[in-house]
Amino acid sequence: MYKFGLVLLGLLALADVATPLATDGKHPPMSIAIGSAVVGLISLVLVGFAWRGKRWALAPLITLRLASALLAVPAFFASDVPAGAVVAAGIGVAATIVGVIAVLLPKRELVGAR
């Protein structure tokens, strides 16, 4: 589950990096899109460290991914946001929650497997 969670968080980080290319400058505003790309780049670096077993990278990674998900929350409440952006925000928030839970679940070994 740990590596699944890292892959999921890495894919979300890649989506953040691409945000400035996907925005019309209004949804999300370019300043938010650029901030999102920076968060995505830092997240990708942290995913790389976590993949190599550096557990210290998990706390900042989880913090950044949750912050990124929180940046999407206004899309649910603003009236002029296109439906596609609202759906994408919902998928991103849900995937973030799943990814965070997956990296935090304790490692389980199969009974009798050695």
Per-residue model confidence as pLDDT tens digits over 70-111: 888 887 887 787 888 888 889 999 999 999 999 998 876 655
pLDDT the model gives residue 109: 61
Q: How far is CA 32 from CA 51, 59, 68, 74, 86, in A?
A: 28, 23, 10, 12, 16
State how far the Cα of 64 lies from the Cα of 58, in Å rounded to an integer: 10
pLDDT > 90 fraction of the chain, expressed in percent and rounded = 54
> How does pLDDT run across 25-74, given as a tens digit for each residue?
777 788 888 988 999 999 999 999 999 999 999 999 999 999 989 888 88
State how far the Cα of 14 lies from the Cα of 89, in Å rounded to an integer: 15
Give this prediction's pTM. 0.84
Backbone phi, then psi, for 79, in 5-degree steps? -85, -25
State how far the Cα of 34 lies from the Cα of 29, in Å rounded to an integer: 9
